[in-house]
Amino acid sequence: MATILAVDDSASMRQMVSFTLKAANHDVVDAEDGLQALELAQMQSFDLVLTDVNMPVMDGLELTKKLRELESYRFTPILVLTTESGTDKKEQGRVAGATGWLVKPFNPEKLLATIKKVLD
Amino acid sequence: MVIDISQFHDVFFEESFEGLDIMQSELLELKPGAADPDSINIIFRAVHSLKGGAGTFGFTAISELTGILESMLNDMRNGQKDITAEAVELLLESVGLLRGMLTAIKHKAPADDVLRADIQNRLTLMMAAETDDVLESDNLNDDSSAATQAVGGWEIYFKPHPHLFQTGNDPVRMLRELATLGEFSSEVLDEKLPPFSDLEPEDSYLAWQLTLKGDIPKEEVLEIFEWVDEDCDFTIQALAVEVSEPVEESMLDEPEVTELTSEAELPEQTVSNDEAVADAPLPELSLQTVDTVADGTNGKTAPTASSSIRLGPDKVNSLMDLVGELVITQSMLSQLADNFSPEMLPDLIDGLAQLERNTRDMQEGISGIRMLPIHTAFNHFPTLIKDLADKTGKKVELRLTGEQTEVDKSIMDKIGAPLALLVRNALDHGLETPNVRLASGKSETGSLEVKAFHQGGNLIIEVHDDGAGLDEQKIFSKAVEKGLLSANVELSVDKIHKLIFLPGFSTDDVLADESEHGMDVVRNNIESLNGVIDVQSTKGEGTTFTICVPLPFAIIDGQTVSVANEKYILPLVSIIETLEINETDIKHVTGKGELYTLRDKYIPIIRLYDVFNLKPVISDLADGLVVVVEARGQQIGLFIDDLLGQQQVVIKRLEDNYRKVQGLSGATVLGDGSVTLILDVAGLLALYRDPSLAMHNERAA
Amino acid sequence: MSGQPKVSNLDDLQTENECFEYFAAVDNDTEQYLHFTLADEDYAVEILRVQEIKGWKPVTSIPNSPEHICGVVNFRSKIVPIVDLRRYFEMPIKEYHPETIVIVLRVEGVSERTVGIVVDSVLGTHNVAPSSIKLSPDLGDGINTAFISGLVAVDDRMMMLLDIDRLLSIEALG
């Protein structure tokens, strides 16, 4: 069981992700944008961060960069959820310090299989 | 674990409609040629979210369309594509289309595929016109299918770069994952491990030589390493198949080797499936273009035809009864649940059986018929208004509210045209040009509001503009000229305004290029729905048309109230607040009855038992409650004995089997099968002012 | 309830005329009527118009409505008015109890409506040949003859056939 921060500006995606993770017995905290996520991340520690890329206020790449600058998130797995399957976005995610990505659309099964790659 | 993602659909619909609203208002603001990058970004993001959600929830048609829109907007965002008026127009049309598609999905109704194909074609053509490379990049499938050839296994060399941990990846997890794919063995190569004193605990020093046996698709192996392909040295080589077959022989000769240290090769291999999917719509679409163009003009006329339902009135009625029964069963069950005890078990079982029966009947009966949100009728207003504004040089802000208000299909079919005409007229004749507006001290931009909502069992639509108002003199003289009335008749301003609904009345000034569809046609359409249309206009301030059409049935939230041993239901929406007051708070005004001062406003107190001629149980104001209710802008204090529960009720019309009763909008059947009457606040006010309305007809002699 | 005129044996048919009437009664031309009573008077309505015969259940009274409108009830998810025929015909009133009979009728007019009437008792059905219907004379005892479409003699009793479309029209009900 892990504590996971899920960030997405879409309420339905947030619901789907957190419902799925909770159903798999994880603790989930969700945020609507990067800035909110960053604030939450500083208030408590997370085992994994799942973030959408395209968001208002602060996007997922910026969030990743900012998190990596924090001592406590240097090694934390950060997965970006991206609709862009193109190499560009993934490359940017990597440069920002993301652990990996999950290409949208994904279903709950895919989500769980993917986070298994980075969780014990 | 199987998770039913349909449970998130409602949220998805809600946020998508919001997103579309945002897109629409941003698009309407967009100035072709000089677009605000922020606006484009907002629009892009809305499309992007919609695409993501639609993909996730399996609405492929929507994700396909939004995919095209997204790449178009992306090009606009990057300056690779001009933001032309034509493009904005097409984007607006797409928003309308998306709204229609979402609505159709939400209501499990058939979608307008013809319109979609048409818009997608035009989008694709517009994209292709400027970007030649759209149709490239579609041969990626071949590579990946080659990679899926059966093999005996894989030989892998994996050497993470020192900083690998800092990406959040962990080689141990990856190896563990790999081990789940087949027969796995590994050899740790630790020659790079420095002396302990030099060891950076945060760095990775080890390398692995891995063997994975079994018929494992290469993608599955690559997928495990896909996130680290730039953070490691990696080679993968096919193992010999243990039982050799001719086909695989050739593979043995040339073992496949993929070096992953080079840039971007791994992503391309592993991602190719995704890309193939994402890119597929484009070539397909260009084919569609050919199809539709080939079969001529019917492509454009079909949408209206495909959106209509044919149903006999009997069928409609029986379905409506079914809905009513379902609601009754539901409320019976919740009543049971409220104070359930074991001896009520038989009732519960009966109730559930009834529910099952109702549901099945519904399912069988419902196919085809549906309530639609009114926005289908509103859909093209933004485009219409934009067109007209461009043509007339007027500036207008269009506000649509209550687009989700549900309307029976039969109403929808008849209300669309009259509404469009009213909207047109408001812009053509109601609103002034910017100069005139400025001169008369108004803001340059006129406001046009279309508002739909339910009130009691009625659908109300208001079309309001803040323009010049109707010209009484012109209307009057026109009516005289047409011989509709004689010149020496004296009419109130209100009555003159209503002349525009008279058959045969259509002045060029009131109706420019639509003279064949006069206001009388509007009125006829509304009246054929048993509705009424009214107009309120103030010179210099604007005009409001109000359409009121009874709904065949409506479900409302009701507040049950008690008075004089009777129970009635008040529509919750009409309730503003509930007060406890004393006789001393009341002013008695001759001819106006009892008045109460509520925040500097006098509101009449109407004793419900009085207007209904009931024998009161509570007549002292201090012992009962005053419910402040509002109807058509007028507030009244309704004096009742007490408030009881709240519940959803189906409004049934009294006039279906009896007659309209003043002060009542209908009745409903409660869970126990009993009937409760539903109050009509506007009617009560009228009854209070004119008690003679209560008089029933004298018996025929 | 009998479905036929009260004839159990053909031997009972004494005269040729009676015999003729019997066979005419089962002929397609006949219409079935539901026979009910109201303050010792005999009335009948076309059986095809009867949707249901049921016991009295509490009604929801309609404010500001005439006295003979008891109120409305839920009948097959429809809101149906219940008319007290005794009050309507200005006869002495009778208390309602669960055995009080309500006949639910289909009324035709501008649109089709469902209306319930409260009666004293239902006696049964009779086949009535149109030829046996006598046009109603002026009864002169307070009942509005405009609502009576004819008279039929059954078992020594005179049944008044009600024209329910007139009787229960909105205009008449008020």
pLDDT digits (tens, 9 = 90+) for B427-473: 888 888 898 899 888 898 999 999 998 776 678 899 999 998 888 88
Mean pLDDT computed over B669-692:
86
Residue bearing the bigger pLDDT, C157 or C7: C157
Q: Chains contacting B with at least 3 CB pairs below 8 Å?
A: A, C
Amino acid C15 reads T
CATH 3.30.200 fits B142-271, yes or no: no
Q: Please indicate if any CB of chain A lies within 8 Å of the CB of B9.
A: yes
| Model confidence band, residue C110 (pLDDT cutoffs 50, 70, 90) | confident
Positive or negative, the Cα torsion across B660, B664, B666, B672?
negative
Cα B162 to chain centroid, rounded: 52
| Model confidence band, residue A88 (pLDDT cutoffs 50, 70, 90) | low
Q: Which residue of chain A has the CA closest to B58?
A: A105
What gap in Å lies between CA B29 and CA A59, rounded to an integer? Answer: 25
CATH number assigned to the domain covering A3-116: 3.40.50.2300
Which pLDDT score, from 0 to 100, does residue C136 have?
66
Which token pair is B475? 């209307």
Closest chain B C-alpha to C109 CA, distance in angstroms: 11
| Model confidence band, residue B327 (pLDDT cutoffs 50, 70, 90) | confident
- B227 vs A85: CB contact, 8 Å cut-off? no
Residues 6+ apart with CB under 8 A from A20: A108, A111, A112, B1, B3
Does position B124 have pLDDT exceeding 70, yes or no?
yes
- pLDDT single digits (tens) B469-497: 888 888 888 888 877 778 888 888 888 88
Which pLDDT score, from 0 to 100, does residue C40 have?
87
Domain extent listing, chain A: 3-116
Closest in B566, B614, B658 to C72, CB measured: B658
Listed range (B17-26, B277-286, C132-141) with the worst mean pLDDT: B277-286
Closest in B673, B696, B698 to C74, CB measured: B673
| Model confidence band, residue B14 (pLDDT cutoffs 50, 70, 90) | confident
Which pLDDT score, from 0 to 100, does residue B276 have?
39
Q: Chains contacting A with at least 3 CB pairs below 8 Å?
A: B
Closest in A19, A83, A98 to B3, CB measured: A19
Mean pLDDT computed over B284-307:
33
Which pLDDT score, from 0 to 100, does residue C28 have?
56
What residues of chain B lie within 8 A of the CB of A15, using their CB? 8, 11
Question: What is the number of other CB atoms lying within 10 angstroms of the CB of residue B420?
Answer: 17
Does position B567 have pLDDT exceeding 90, yes or no?
yes
Does position B142 have pLDDT exceeding 80, yes or no?
no
- pLDDT single digits (tens) B266-276: 333 333 334 33
- Contact between chain B and chain A (3 or more Cβ pairs less than 8 Å apart): yes
Mean pLDDT computed over B16-44:
84
Residue bearing the bigger pLDDT, B56 or B627: B627
- Contact between chain B and chain C (3 or more Cβ pairs less than 8 Å apart): yes
What gap in Å lies between CA C38 and CA C93, rounded to an integer? Answer: 10
Which pLDDT score, from 0 to 100, does residue B344 have?
81
Which pLDDT score, from 0 to 100, does residue C82 have?
96
Which pLDDT score, from 0 to 100, does residue C23 have?
44
Nearest Cα to B23, choosing from B59, B65, B81? B65
Q: Which residue of chain B has the CA closest to C113?
A: B657
Residue bearing the bigger pLDDT, B145 or B484: B484
Nearest Cα to C118, choosing from C75, C74, C160, C69? C69
Which pLDDT score, from 0 to 100, does residue B165 have?
79
What residues of chain B lie within 8 A of the CB of A86, using their CB? 275
Which pLDDT score, from 0 to 100, does residue B58 have?
84
Listed range (A8-22, B58-72, C25-39, C116-130) with the worst mean pLDDT: C25-39
Which token pair is A112? 């769980």
Nearest Cα to C99, choosing from C74, C76, C124, C122? C122
| Model confidence band, residue B650 (pLDDT cutoffs 50, 70, 90) | confident
Closest chain B C-alpha to C174 CA, distance in angstroms: 4
Percent of chain B with pLDDT over 70: 79
Q: What is the DSSP string of B295-322?
A: TTTHHHHHHHHHT-----HHHHHHHHHH
CATH number assigned to the domain covering B1-138+280-300: 1.20.120.160
Amino acid C31 reads E
Closest in B49, B177, B264 to A87, CB measured: B264
Question: What is the number of other CB atoms lying within 10 angstroms of the CB of residue B402?
Answer: 18
Query: What b/e readout covers B77-115, taking b as 16+ CB neighbours within 10 angstroms?
Result: beeebebeeebbbbbbbbbbbbbbbbbbbbeebebbebb
Does position A64 have pLDDT exceeding 70, yes or no?
yes
Does position B527 have pLDDT exceeding 80, yes or no?
no
Question: What is the number of other CB atoms lying within 10 angstroms of the CB of residue C119?
Answer: 21
- C74 vs B666: CB contact, 8 Å cut-off? no
Could you tell me the pTM of the whole model? 0.43
Which token pair is B326? 């379902």
Mean pLDDT computed over C63-74:
94
Position of tokens 């009274």?
C61
> Of B266-270, B392-396, C29-33, which one has max mean pLDDT?
B392-396
Closest in B7, B48, B226 to A54, CB measured: B48
Does position B21 have pLDDT exceeding 70, yes or no?
yes
Interface test with B, best of A9, A21, A85 (most B CBs within 10 A): A85
Domain extent listing, chain B: 1-138+280-300, 142-271, 373-550, 554-694
What residues of chain A lie within 8 A of the CB of B48, using their CB? 54, 83
Which pLDDT score, from 0 to 100, does residue C54 have?
87
Mean pLDDT of chain B: 76
Q: Please indicate if any CB of chain A lies within 8 Å of the CB of B52.
A: yes
Interface test with C, best of B659, B664, B674 (most C CBs within 10 A): B659
Residue bearing the bigger pLDDT, B634 or C100: C100
Q: Please, what CATH class does the domain formed by B554-694 belong to? A: mainly beta
> Of B62-71, B361-370, C55-64, which one has max mean pLDDT?
C55-64
What gap in Å lies between CA C88 and CA B640, rounded to an integer? Answer: 32
Which pLDDT score, from 0 to 100, does residue B139 have?
38
- B321 vs C61: CB contact, 8 Å cut-off? no
Which pLDDT score, from 0 to 100, does residue B222 have?
83
Q: Which residue of chain C has the CA closest to B657?
A: C113
- C78 vs B656: CB contact, 8 Å cut-off? yes
Position of tokens 């018996």?
B699
Q: Which residue of chain A has the CA closest to B18?
A: A10
Which pLDDT score, from 0 to 100, does residue C142 have?
52
Residue bearing the bigger pLDDT, B657 or B205: B657
| Model confidence band, residue B2 (pLDDT cutoffs 50, 70, 90) | low
**Chain C interface, Cβ < 8 Å to B:** 58-66, 69, 71-74, 76-81, 111, 113-115, 146, 169-174
Q: Which fold has domain C10-173?
A: OB fold (Dihydrolipoamide Acetyltransferase, E2P) (2.40.50)
Q: Which fold has domain B373-550?
A: Heat Shock Protein 90 (3.30.565)
What residues of chain C lie within 8 A of the CB of B614, using their CB? 63
Closest in A87, A104, A112 to B52, CB measured: A104
Which pLDDT score, from 0 to 100, does residue B539 have?
86
* Predicted complex ipTM exceeds 0.90: no
Q: Chains contacting C with at least 3 CB pairs below 8 Å?
A: B
